[in-house]
Each structure stands twice: as C-alpha cells, then as structure tokens.
Amino acid sequence: MKFEVLILGSSSATPIYGRHPTAQLVNVNEQLYLIDCGEGTQVQLIKYGVRSNRIKHIFISHLHGDHYLGLIGLISSMHLVGRKDELHVYGPPGLKEIIDLHFLHSQTVLRYALHVHTTQDDVQDVIFENENLLVSSFPLDHRIACTGFRFDEKKHLPTIDREKTEAIGVPSAYLSLVKRGYDYTASDGTIYRWQDLTVAPPAPRSYAYCSDTVRTPSYLPFIQQIDLLYHEATFLHEMVDRAVDTYHTTALQAAEVATEVGAKKLLIGHYSARYKDLKPLLQESRETFAETQLALEGNWYRI
C-alpha cells in the first residue's frame, strides 16, 4: 500500500529563494490528504501534477498565515472547476469563521458541501478514520493554538500462503476465515494453525507532522516510535534564543526530538529566510540524528 508524502512548501513565514510557505500532500493508498495550505499551494499542486479534486481532507495546524493563506484560494478554485465531492477541513477555532466571512462577503455559495471541523489544542484527538488510516491531532506549543497531526496506517490482515493451503487442500471458502485468525481442521481431524497457513503482514507505518512549536517534552508522548517524523527546524542552534522567543525549534532540537521518541527517519523543514543554503541545517541535525533529510519541494518521501 502506498504511504508517502510530497513536500509542496518548505519555507517559514514568507516565500523566498523559490521556496513556498508550508504545505504537504500525503498519499495513503491513492487517497490524498493535504496538511497545511500556505499561500501558493494550489499553484504547487498544479506544478506537481496533482488534481486538487482528489483531495477530500485538509488538515490545518494553526492560523499563522504561512500555514493557511492558500486555503481560501484552493476552496474557491475547487468551486470554480465544478467540484461536487464534499470537502472536510480540520483546523483550530476561528478557521470556520474566517472561511464563512470570506464567502459571505464575496456572496459565494459553494457548489459542494464544505465541512469545517474544529481541532482541540489541549488534548490528543482522533479526527479522521477509514479502513486504512487513522489521523489524530495533538497539541504543540506555539504562540497561538497549534496542533500536529499523526497518520497511522491500520494493521493489515495476513496474506494466505497459497502453496501451503493448496497442498493441504483448504477449501477456498475457508480462506477468509484463516486470514482472520481461525484454525483449519482437515477431514482427517488434523488441526492447522492459522499462523502456519498465512504470511504475517508488514508492520503498520506511521507519519507525524510537527508544525510550528517550541521544543518541550509535552508533545513527545504523541510521536513515539514514529516511522517518519517531520519536524520544523526553523533555525540553526546558534539562534536558539530566537527560536525560544518565537516558539520555534532548531535543527539540533529537531534531531534530539527524533532521537528521544525513537523515530526511524526525520524530515526537517520550515526554513527561516536567513538560510539560502540549507546544508548547514542538514549537517547540524545529522550530527545528532543521522537519518535526517531536508524537506525539499517536489520530492516524495516514502514512509
């Protein structure tokens, strides 16, 4: 099953050096989910060949402009191209008011149903679930209400070991039961354990998105043992005082977080405009957490 993330925007605050404000697209089994929607996100979607009507769910971390100023434009364009499918947007208190106010004054009645769900910034909360995936929000520590998002793939059923079941002669009608954990009793009374007739599924994978936050221990319980951790790394550690003042994180701190939670891989982004060259951020993070990569726009990262 496909589980990967496309970086659409990697800049903090303002667009610069060809970098755009934050947005990411997660593909889980060909279902597309947008995380944050900085200005220019719809242009980036076109650039990277993503049809916006395939997006059914949009998750907004907080109401700083670099994370959501592209949202009204994207919602409007979906309306203009005749979208019919409903759209779900998840975000902090105030987001619904902003969207409603915009369409009130533009006298626009959307052609599709738009559902805005308010996230909570004080508790972890499951906000979306389907047969493949569970998405939860969790509180971060920023100047205003801000949440991260965690994507957990659901556990798959094991696959049938065809060679064994055919050799034993397990009736095909019984195979779906074996997959669900029922043993098979042959006509001679021999019991075959379901574990011996199946191949274990791959372990469920997980992705966590830690948007703007100061480094605190408070959110670490929500991102334990994550396969791929995206963490903002706005500054080099020499700017740690500025990072604390502005409720942001340094590349070193992002690496420490990844180490502490037992992440397999780390993706850093949300780069300050003071860094044209991103290599020093990568180098600083890799000194503590070797499996670090830079979030680069247009790149897909497999989870």
5-13, 122-130, 272-280, 290-298 -> range binding Zn ion (CB under 5 A): 5-13
Q: Which is nearer to Zn ion, 94 or 181 (CB)?
A: 94
Which x/- pattern over 46-65 shows residues binding Zn ion (rule: CB under 5 A)? ------------------x-
Stretch that binds Zn ion, among 40-48, 156-164, 209-217, 271-279 (CB under 5 A): 209-217
Q: What angle do CA 10, 16, 22 make, to 5 degrees?
A: 25
Nearer to Zn ion, 67 or 83 (CB): 67
- For position 36 contacting Zn ion by CB under 5 A, the verdict is no
Q: Count Cβ neighbours within 10 Å for each residue of 145-175 and write b for 16 or more, e otherwise.
A: bbbbbbbbbeeeebebeeeebeeeebeeeeb
Residue 250: CB minimum distance to Zn ion, A: 15
Round to whole Å and give the CA distance between 211 and 121. Answer: 13
- Our CB check for Zn ion shows the closer of 64 and 265 to be 64
End-to-end alpha carbon distance in the chain: 11
Residues sharing a CB contact under 8 Å with residue 46, sequence separation 6 or more, in sequence order:
none
Nearer to Zn ion, 11 or 42 (CB): 11
Q: Can you tell me the distance from the alpha carbon of 120 to that of 146, in angstroms, rounded to the nearest whole number?
A: 9
Task: Supply the minimum distance, in Å, between the C-beta of residue 50 and Zn ion.
Answer: 22
Q: In whole angstroms, how close is the CB of 260 to Zn ion at the nearest point?
A: 23
Check binding of 212 to Zn ion (CB under 5 A): yes
Residues 95, 63 contacting (CB under 8 angstroms): yes
CB 219 within 8 A of CB 138: yes
What crossing angle do the helices spanning 95-105 and 71-80 adopt, rounded to 10°?
50
Structure tokens at 248: 């942001």
Compute how many residues bind Zn ion; rule: CB under 5 A: 4
Distance CA 246, CA 234 (A): 10
Q: Is 227 a catalytic residue?
A: no
Q: Of 47-55, 75-83, 210-218, 287-295, which part binds Zn ion (CB under 5 A)?
A: 210-218
Tell me the closest approach of the beta carbon of residue 57 to Zn ion, in angstroms. 21
- C-beta of 296: minimal distance to Zn ion in Å? 17
Residue 19 binds Zn ion (CB under 5 A): no
- The correct pick among 66, 152, 227, 284 for binding Zn ion (CB under 5 A) is 66
* H-assigned helices in 106-226: 162-168, 175-179
Residue 236: CB minimum distance to Zn ion, A: 17
Between 98 and 110, whose beta carbon lies closer to Zn ion?
98
Catalytic-labelled residue, pool 36, 66, 121, 212 = 66
Letter string b/e over residues 236-253, b meaning 16 or more CB atoms within 10 A of that residue's CB? bbebbeebeebbbbbbbb
Within residues 214-243, the interface with Zn ion by CB under 5 A covers: none
| Interaction site with Zn ion (CB under 5 A) | 12, 64, 66, 212
Catalytic residue IDs: 66
